[in-house]
A and B are shown apart, each in its own frame.
Chain A
């Protein structure tokens, strides 16, 4: 990693730790918009951190994407991942970038882009109520919408993050998005965030079993606990590897980007299920309470697994791509990813 990339990660980590103590996390989960934290993120330039070229930080995209993992590690209750990748895509499409909150409305959400206008009523839009701009997708094109939309109904995912129903009928700056799709890019940031959240599951669980004493010794002394923990760490490692594979394909504009993202979403979905189960099991009853922070991460994982395409969607697509090869072609297909 370059010095600039490492510095950016380090600064962002400090910002997140400073802004999101337990009280701030609880307030955000209760529905309060963390304006101060958002302002701090904007002051640090995070909305433009993934933009390539002159408008961005000059950090290679592959490195910048590590920021998304960091956001996942802290289960950050802000639309930073959406805004960061949104700006990266806007720049790629030759549209203007913005420092305001961007909400992403990918293919399949029922948007029509025609005659410089976006129309539709998408549901489950992440942070729709806070959005200054929408980046929508229809038929291989994307549109930037900065007016003519409103929130019809507020909802949330399992981690109490806003997922809203929107009404859109407004002017759109339409462009082709080369090399990827909004759905794919959204799926990638969720994959990276999930890998980050799973690292936190490992850290929280290691800390808990080291501190918690039963039968006169720390839980970590029991071999059954050690082996469960090993399995948790292995699944977290697999999730990180799968997310990195997808991020590098995306950043390098690999022709197999879609396959890499589909693989990451498929593998991480399974890994998250196993990891969540073990983390809760090893935390015991305290981890099942509102008071304990474990559920900030496990509920986020439960939701992120199926956002920007369900796990079933990505697994099916990966299976179709794999089955397009005969037995002589399958291995070359694997090594091409």
Chain B
């Protein structure tokens, strides 16, 4: 039976919560509800540096790499508070959550010394080079190849749906270093790509259905990467990527990225005696409290170095469903059309969230992939 651990009471984390709230109240006071609704798509290097200056990035990493050696519960508090407030976290998000931990675990001493302190300072943006035109959910079908050459690697291939590639300082590239796509998991590796100084690489924007530019296509045409680019072991890419994904799938972002809509809805419904409003907000609140409990349970398992991949898949699947329900439920309670240009915050936030919602069960593992993982965890696959 799947067991989600009880998150322990953590006094230092609760004290930190007050500090983070006070900082955010001042720092992002001018952000409109619509800007807050952008959540982890809000890109602001200045904000990330300010967070880094407070010691709130790379929090759990060793001090020798610019980290702060604090517990993952304290990091969790910073993450959930910044998300709940609608702070622009996109410039540090990927690096702090997964690229940094990947480098810490598998990176060379040189990579760690050069890059981790910059991430912890909020001064280093990462993107993730996993998906490809023919390799989405089926990650093992990766075609992008890195060939050994004198002094390094030559990379050829195309990465797709690469969030922030146009802003990023680095990419962690998942690619094939031997064999062919038929070899599946074998022969894959992770390489560090300097996005500002790699010749033979081009980044092309892909607009999403709301006309926004977060995604990119990244094309490598015989691009040269130096010897020191290899992260971890050659051929060990698949296992490295899998260990990364439990962190990607269970965090508070998996149920908090639409919370601004819930807040606007509560703002609009407050003071009404409507029983429908009470019942609806009651139900949504019960879901939110439960998701937070589940997610903190996974954080507790990860802190204890236990395998939590099935648990993480459950959190992400339930979280995505909750977030996709939100705009559908909100629109049944308000007498107006979703409108991105509206001066009524609720309607603008509703429009934004509605147009983002399809991605919730795609990003970071589709619903179908997650349910397959859960079924495997139950022993039926």
> Which of A199, A314, A316, A323 has the largest count of B CB atoms less than 10 A from its CB?
A323
- Segment of A29-37, A77-85, A241-249 in the binding face: A241-249
B-chain residues with CB within 8 Å of residue A326 when the two chains form the complex:
266-267, 270
Number of interchain pairs (Cβ within 8 Å)? 152
The tally of residues in B whose CB lies under 8 Å from a CB in A reads: 52
Contact present for B317 and A263 (CB under 8 Å)? no
Name the one of B21, B277, B287 contacting A319, with C-beta atoms under 8 angstroms.
B277
Chain A neighbourhood of B85, CB < 8 A: 331
Q: Contacting chain B: which of A8-16, A20-28, A158-166, A230-238?
A: A230-238
Candidates B3, B282, B289; contact of A315 at CB < 8 Å = B282
Check: A132 CB closer than 8 A to any chain B CB: no
If A227-B368, A317-B282 touch, does A233 touch B314 (CB 8 Å cutoff)? Answer: yes
How far apart are the CA atoms of A285 and B291 in the complex, in Å? 34
Decide yes or no whether B203 CB sits under 8 A from chain A.
Answer: no
Is B154 part of the contact surface with A, judged by Cβ < 8 Å? Answer: no
Whether, in the assembled complex, B259 has its beta carbon less than 8 Å from a beta carbon of chain A, the answer is yes
Q: Cβ of A262 < 8 Å from any Cβ of B? A: yes
Known: A203-B1, A242-B290. A319 touches B318 (CB 8 A): no
Q: Is the CB of B286 within 8 A of A242?
A: yes
Report Cα–Cα, A334/B263, bound state, in Å: 12
Residues facing A in B1-50 (CB within 8 A) are 1-4, 6, 17, 21
Say if the beta carbon of B70 comes within 8 Å of chain A: no
| A203 CB to nearest chain B CB (Å) | 7
Q: Which of B342-381 contact A (CB under 8 A)?
A: 368, 370-372, 374-375, 377-381
A248 to B296, CA, bound (A): 14
Q: Which residues of B contact A312 (CB under 8 A)?
A: 279
B302 at the interface (CB under 8 A from A): no
Q: Is A206's CB within 8 Å of the partner chain B?
A: yes
Q: What chain A residues lie within 8 Å of B3 (beta carbons)?
A: 240
How far apart are B299's CB and chain A's nearest CB, in angstroms? 13
Closest residue of B by beta carbon distance from A256: B289
A241/B4 in contact, CB under 8 A:
yes
What are 30 A-to-B residue pairs whose CB atoms are below 8 Å? Answer: A202-B1, A220-B380, A225-B380, A226-B375, A227-B371, A227-B375, A229-B375, A237-B294, A240-B3, A241-B294, A241-B297, A242-B289, A242-B293, A244-B4, A245-B290, A315-B279, A315-B286, A316-B282, A318-B281, A318-B285, A319-B277, A319-B279, A319-B283, A322-B281, A323-B270, A323-B278, A326-B270, A327-B266, A331-B85, A334-B84
The 9 closest A-B pairs by CB, nearest first: A319-B282, A319-B278, A230-B374, A266-B286, A226-B375, A220-B380, A230-B371, A318-B282, A315-B282
